[in-house]
């Protein structure tokens, strides 16, 4: 970090993830879910204060100033969505048709809005998925018309004009082909289709590739996007959910097309999000032109320092701090951040919690972690 002038949040983010010389590394400790916030409120976080404002106050840091953020408002979700409705309530569980057309089961501790939005760490069971065959897919395709009224806001041109004056990071975020096909077909049925119906899988992946390209085109072509965010979540604790060969064959065409379009639109950061062990996937992402990945879950066996040694400046990273160590606090979190010091010094890395901040992390331990993180990233 050799730069001396004060950067905007946008400049700092891009400079860090493209192995430049940021004035400081972005301070992004991670965000809590609903239960985590409830715990923190009971431990001293004021109920009427945003947790990050409180963190800045506790650390004696000035809350960053920025222009009011203007978003593009482009929607990649199906239109129309399915009707959300409770089909059955028994044995402490709801069986629900969710907005994606899945039949799912969730504890009645929650309501179905927890299926719609990731407000908390909630498990559920799937009973049925909306795409079981080619006929189902023909019907599903009707919900993904790039020109559907409402998919882009009526004031899109005005929004894009304002975004040209940004000092904040702008992004376009959507599901990758594996994630989207899994939502349509279900994980196990989809995996069987890779073997039994490869042409059908290819048809669905191609449709999604082109739908995303057409939907995001006006925003990308306007040259106002800093980050393309792709959600895949396609790895377990030790291996990817499909082989590297299948990833190259069925998913990589979408990655390459989107990256090509993004680069033509001046997008500097292409960020791939996948939980699990991603060591076999990173080379494919690099080959596709993707240059950032996260959350680098430590419990899955990912070794960020080893990744940096192996892939050099071909890949940058976000997050990667073991959430379990934050929960233990004290010396454990101090040792965990010390482990990541080489990665921070190597550049191309924004440290933060390696997923959503779970409710076993106390407010005092989170503050201690934030204090250490602020020192590591140059804010104190």
Q: Which of 93-107, 241-255, 259-273, 290-304 shows the lowest per-residue confidence on average (mean pLDDT)?
A: 93-107
Q: Give the mean pLDDT of 307-315.
A: 98
Q: What are the DSSP E strand ranges found in the chain?
A: 85-90, 93-97, 103-107, 124-128, 171-175, 227-231, 269-273, 292-294, 316-321, 349-353
Q: Give the mean pLDDT of 115-142.
A: 90
CB–CB of 32/40 below 8 Å?
A: yes
d(CA 196, CA 204): 14
Q: Which long-range contacts (CB under 8 A, 24 or more apart) does 343-347 make?
A: 343/304, 343/305, 343/308, 343/317, 344/25, 344/376, 344/377, 346/308, 347/16, 347/19, 347/20, 347/313
Query: Are residue 15 and residue 96 in the same domain, yes or no?
Result: no
| pLDDT at res. 3 | 46
Query: Are residue 173 and residue 55 in the same domain, yes or no?
Result: yes
Query: Are residue 66 and residue 94 in the same domain, yes or no?
Result: no
Task: Assess if residue 1 is contained within a domain.
Answer: no
Distances in whole angstroms, Cα of residue 224 to Cα of each of 20, 216, 264, 267:
20, 12, 12, 8
CB–CB of 327/364 below 8 Å?
A: no
Query: Are residue 331 and residue 283 in the same domain, yes or no?
Result: yes
d(CA 53, CA 110): 29
| pLDDT at res. 124 | 84
| pLDDT at res. 64 | 84
Q: Give the mean pLDDT of 127-142.
A: 97
Q: Which of 4-8, 260-264, 361-365 shows the lowest per-residue confidence on average (mean pLDDT)?
A: 4-8
| Domain termination residue (choose one: 129, 155, 189) | 129
Domain extent at residue 193? 9-77+131-376
Q: Containing H/E element for 305?
A: helix 304-311
Query: Are residue 124 and residue 16 in the same domain, yes or no?
Result: no
- What is the pLDDT confidence band of residue 49, given thresholds at 50, 70 and 90? very high
Q: Give the mean pLDDT of 43-60.
A: 96
Provide the mean pLDDT of the chain: 95
Query: Are residue 69 and residue 191 in the same domain, yes or no?
Result: yes
Query: Are residue 225 and residue 294 in the same domain, yes or no?
Result: yes
Q: Which of 1-5, 154-158, 217-221, 243-247 shows the lowest per-residue confidence on average (mean pLDDT)?
A: 1-5
CB–CB of 21/3 below 8 Å?
A: yes
Query: Which CATH number is 236's domain given?
Result: 3.20.20.210
| pLDDT at res. 119 | 76
Task: Assess if residue 273 is contained within a domain.
Answer: yes
| pLDDT at res. 169 | 97
Q: pLDDT by residue (tens digit) across 143-159?
A: 999 999 999 999 999 99
How many C-beta atoms lie closer than 10 Å to residue 138's C-beta?
10
Query: Are residue 21 and residue 155 in the same domain, yes or no?
Result: yes
| pLDDT at res. 156 | 97
d(CA 199, CA 357): 40
Query: Are residue 56 and residue 30 in the same domain, yes or no?
Result: yes
pTM of this prediction exceeds 0.85: yes
Q: pLDDT by residue (tens digit) across 183-200?
A: 999 999 999 999 999 999
The tokens for 236 are: 């377990």
pLDDT at position 1 over 50: no
Task: Assess if residue 359 is contained within a domain.
Answer: yes
Query: Are residue 71 and residue 115 in the same domain, yes or no?
Result: no
| pLDDT at res. 118 | 74
CB–CB of 45/55 below 8 Å?
A: no
| pLDDT at res. 281 | 98
Query: Are residue 121 and residue 159 in the same domain, yes or no?
Result: no
Q: pLDDT by residue (tens digit) across 74-117?
A: 999 999 999 999 999 999 999 999 999 999 999 988 877 777 77
Domain count, the chain: 2
Q: How far is CA 169 from the centre of its chain?
A: 15
Task: Assess if residue 4 is contained within a domain.
Answer: no
| pLDDT at res. 329 | 94
- Which residue from 98, 124, 99, 126 is spatially nearest to 109, judged by alpha carbons? 124
- What is the pLDDT confidence band of residue 347, given thresholds at 50, 70 and 90? very high
| Domain termination residue (choose one: 94, 113, 129) | 129
pLDDT at position 4 over 70: no
Task: Assess if residue 44 is contained within a domain.
Answer: yes
Query: Are residue 248 and residue 286 in the same domain, yes or no?
Result: yes
């Amino acid at each position: 970090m050799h730069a001396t002038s004060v950067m905007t949040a946008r400049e700092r983010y891009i400079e860090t993830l493209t192995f430049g010389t940021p004035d400081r590394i972005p301070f992004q400790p991670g965000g809590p879910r609903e239960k985590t916030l409830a715990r923190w409120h009971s431990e001293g976080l004021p109920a009427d204060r945003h947790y990050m404002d409180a963190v800045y106050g506790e650390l004696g840091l000035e809350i960053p100033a920025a222009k009011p953020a203007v978003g593009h408002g482009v929607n990649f979700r199906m239109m129309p969505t399915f009707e959300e409705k409770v089909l059955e309530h028994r044995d402490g569980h709801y069986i629900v048709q969710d907005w994606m057309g899945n039949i799912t089961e969730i504890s009645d501790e929650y309501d179905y809005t927890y299926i719609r939005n990731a407000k908390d760490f909630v498990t559920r069971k799937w009973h049925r998925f909306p795409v079981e065959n080619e006929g189902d897919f023909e019907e599903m395709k009707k919900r993904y018309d790039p020109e559907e009224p409402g998919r882009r806001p009526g004031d899109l041109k005005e929004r894009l004009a304002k975004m040209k004056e940004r000092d904040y990071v702008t992004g376009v975020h959507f599901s990758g082909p594996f994630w989207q096909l899994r939502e349509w077909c279900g994980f196990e049925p989809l995996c069987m289709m890779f073997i039994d119906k490869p042409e059908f899988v290819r048809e669905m992946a191609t449709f999604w590739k082109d739908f995303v390209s057409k939907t995001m085109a006006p925003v990308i072509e306007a040259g106002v996007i800093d980050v393309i965010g792709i959600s895949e979540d396609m790895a377990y604790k030790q291996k990817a959910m499909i082989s590297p060969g299948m990833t190259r064959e069925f998913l990589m065409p979408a990655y390459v097309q989107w990256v090509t379009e993004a680069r033509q639109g001046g997008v500097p950061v292409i960020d791939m999000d996948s939980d699990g062990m991603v060591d076999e996937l990173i080379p494919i992402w690099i080959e596709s032109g993707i240059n950032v990945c996260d959350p680098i879950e430590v419990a899955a066996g990912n070794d960020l320092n080893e990744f940096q040694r192996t892939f050099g400046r071909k890949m940058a990273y976000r997050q990667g701090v073991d959430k379990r160590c934050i929960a233990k606090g004290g010396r454990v979190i101090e040792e965990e951040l010390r482990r990541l010091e080489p990665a921070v010094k190597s550049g191309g890395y924004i440290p933060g919690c390696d997923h959503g901040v779970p409710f076993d992390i106390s407010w005092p331990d989170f503050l201690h972690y934030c204090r250490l993180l602020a020192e590591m990233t140059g804010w104190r």
